[in-house]
Amino acid sequence: MGLLSKSVIYLLGISSLLPAVVTASGGKEKHSVNIEMFSPERGHHVGIAGRGWFVDLEIEYEVPLARSGFTLNGNGDPGFQVTGPAGHDNIAPFPGTFSPGQDERIPGLIVLLSTTTIGAGSCQNLANLFNITGVTDLSEHETELWDTWIVGAPLFGVDVQSTIYVAVADDLNGDGIFNDAPGVVPDADGNGLCDKRDLKRLGIASNIESTRFFINGDVSLEGVPVVP
């Protein structure tokens, strides 16, 4: 494909027709961890009055469970969690803490929202706010974890466009485990916002999943049935 043809493709906004980026060895770029984000989807209008919307992730590691960063409870039980704010925080049968910052269950995970109004704003790692964590596929050499968050408070924008970025930090301390996500991502370029460039400067082991979507404000509930 000639240079002119490539330029036309980019101008038309259909760059997906171009060949995949290849490594020096000629193969597709490969990561030790692969993330797939099922929600939010690009262009969707989510939630009502800034809450009640989901972030839903599948995270595949090409390493055994012990190197994925997945943690255990103090009694040795696997770190499955079903948790949330207030009375839902850190209770049986699947306890887990609930706060912004590094996730205690998947401590390599980084989740950023451009419209975050708490903590360090767009640089604040939100991974420890996830409510449900479990193991969805496991073998001797590979681990698949599922992680889901239902947003329960309008702390991430209302009636606004937002962008989410999700990645897994590289093994930054060299211990062989993907457990090095920061509580706050450094704003490497000093522009007051954290995005893909800052994640890449930090060092990541995965693809970066990102999408732009809209967080709804007030929505008319007229005619919606009430459960007694």
Tokens of residue 228, six digits: 């007694």
Angle 43-103-162 from CA coordinates, rounded to 5°: 20
Spell out the alpha helix ranges (H) of the chain. Answer: 3-11, 65-68, 196-202
Residue 108's nearest CA partner among 75, 63, 51 is 63
Report residue 29's pLDDT band, with 50, 70 and 90 as the boundaries. Answer: low
Mean pLDDT computed over 74-84: 94
Report residue 211's pLDDT band, with 50, 70 and 90 as the boundaries. Answer: very high
Lowest mean pLDDT among 26-30, 118-122, 174-178, 190-194: 26-30
State yes or no: pLDDT of 186 exceeds 60.
yes
* pLDDT tens sequence across 149-168: 999 999 999 999 999 999 99
Residue 8's identity, in one-letter code, is: V
Residue 207's nearest CA partner among 28, 7, 15 is 28
The position carrying tokens 């984000």 is 37
State yes or no: pLDDT of 1 exceeds 80.
no
Residue 69's nearest CA partner among 18, 106, 119 is 106
Per cent of the chain over pLDDT 90 is 83
Question: How distant is the alpha carbon of residue 110 from its chain centre?
Answer: 6
What does pLDDT average to over the chain? Answer: 90
Compare 171 and 85 and report the one with higher pLDDT. 171
CA distance 127 to 113: 11
